[in-house]
Structure 1
């Protein structure tokens, strides 16, 4: 049985169920999460460059899933809280962290439900495209609330372009079968202009944005091209 956890706020039950169903495959580098494994070094490196030394920083990983970003941060000395409404994915995260000798404070819930704040950084990676559009302003406001003054907020997502449809849905889901069909809905993808507007509405100052594109050798690299995958950084002023 899938445990939905604390479903108040931005978590859409159908979206949560998708990722609960993938919990057992999350750490398989050749499984359905292979694109995230390939992307993780580039996206986390970009974030780390903007945070500086990670040792001792309090970081909240919203929509942490089974802990791919959370463990990357914990291995570098950050004090990480992982938050997700997908209970089965959290179970996998806790088990993997324990087996790896890492300490991550994994919690069941949504950012709207989390009472404490004051984090040096708040991450929501590959999450907002799964948040219902009507809930996105509240979602971004919650991310802003959870960051300390001067803290940073980082998001990564998919742009709503024709190329993103061809790559992420037609290619990755329907042809190559890297992801289960229905993992993404192109209509829910978010343009950089829309995301920037949501963050500014939440009282954040957008400080940087970059694209992520497949490398010619392996994995992904940071680029100016935001036509498919992109990152955005903002600061709480």
Structure 2
């Protein structure tokens, strides 16, 4: 484990390290992220383009924006953001994830900076970004308040953070854990810990504590038969928050 990432949960890191070689298998254990990527990429693109006064339909609407993909895994989201023109820095606490991401980006002809490190190390080095993408990460960290404070510190004034995670409700226990991991076996058992799911209100409070203002939130729904995702008003399972630093 990289010693400069105190919010990294060793058990979570070990679990993802075992799966690292499977990141780019669209029908493998990360298939939900592959299916979700299309939805979240469009959502992030439109919010960033609107916030920074860009045309979302332009060829490279995020050109010139410095973007951090924290907990980038194998690079699914990092590559999509790079194709939209962003200058992407992808970091992860699992070294094997970074090596997989580097190889795939190189094979895809994409210039993405990947690094095996954590948010705390970046902040200590004085790093800052126009946008921080905090997607499907907060439910896996060891110290959520510290992690959120650190991530907020990495957002430049006038910048944006997008957070995606799972709500801590009975619906999420039944759907995201019991259903997805034990009944349907879409995900490996133990992928998620229900007690670590934060509610939207808890995340909002942490973001506001650290100088961020939540400007939008949305639920994310799934059709289990078609395995497709959509935006929805219901935030009882998956949801996303958009916050800005004034």
- Which TM-score band applies after superposition, normalised by the shorter structure? over 0.9
Per the alignment, residue 53 of structure 2 pairs with none
More relative contact order, 1 or 2 (CA 8 Å, 6+ apart): 1
8 Å Cα contact 1:90/1:108 also seen in 2 = yes
Residue 217 of structure 1 and its aligned partner are, at CA, apart by: 5.3
Whether 1:229 and 2:238 are equivalent positions in the alignment is: yes
Per the alignment, residue 112 of structure 1 pairs with 120
Per the alignment, residue 168 of structure 1 pairs with 176
The superposition leaves residues 48-101 of structure 1 with CA deviations (integer Å, 9 ceiling, x where unpaired) of: 111002112110000000001100001111100001110111111011111111
Aligned partner (choices 151, 158, 163) of residue 159 of structure 2: 151
Under a length normalisation based on structure 2, what TM-score does the superposition of the two structures give?
Answer: 0.91
Of 72-81 and 135-144, the range deviating more from structure 2:
135-144
Under a length normalisation based on structure 1, what TM-score does the superposition of the two structures give?
Answer: 0.94
Whether 1:21 and 2:15 are equivalent positions in the alignment is: no
User: Which runs of structure 2 are paired with 1:121-160 in the superposition (5 Å)?
Assistant: 121-132=131-142, 135-160=143-168
Residue 177 of structure 1 and its aligned partner are, at CA, apart by: 1.4
Aligned pair count? 232
Q: Which runs of 5+ in 2 are unaligned?
A: 50-60
Per the alignment, residue 82 of structure 2 pairs with 74
Aligned partner (choices 186, 190, 193) of residue 178 of structure 1: 186
Residue 130 of structure 1 and its aligned partner are, at CA, apart by: 0.7
Give the secondary structure class of the aligned counterpart of 2:12. helix
8 Å Cα contact 2:5/2:93 also seen in 1 = no
| RMSD of equivalent CA atoms | 1.3
Aligned partner (choices 64, 67, 76) of residue 56 of structure 1: 64
CA distance in 2, matches of 1:19, 1:219: 23
Give the secondary structure class of the aligned counterpart of 1:173. helix
CA distance in 1, matches of 2:150, 2:222: 32
8 Å Cα contact 2:168/2:198 also seen in 1 = yes
Aligned partner (choices 203, 219, 234) of residue 228 of structure 2: 219
